[in-house]
Amino acid sequence: MTLTRKRIIILFIIIIIAAVLGRLAVRAVMNFMLGGTMSGGNFL
């Protein structure tokens, strides 16, 4: 595997993690203000 290929795979992983964390951050803030759980329910 070339170095560039490895870096692109890392980039994809970072994007997926950031997308999940972005949604979770909103959920955490909303839960803090209104109440709610971090797990369960609808992630989308």
| Positions in the binding site for other proteins (CB under 8 A) | 3, 7, 10-11, 14-15, 17-23, 25-27, 30-31, 33-37, 39-42, 44
User: In whole angstroms, how close is the CB of 1 to other proteins at the nearest point?
Assistant: 15
Q: Number of C-alpha atoms within 13 angstroms, CB side, residue 31?
A: 12
Distance of CA 22 to the CA centre of its chain: 5
Nearer to other proteins, 1 or 44 (CB): 44
The three-class DSSP label of residue 31 is: helix
Min. distance of Cβ 8 from other proteins in angstroms?
A: 10
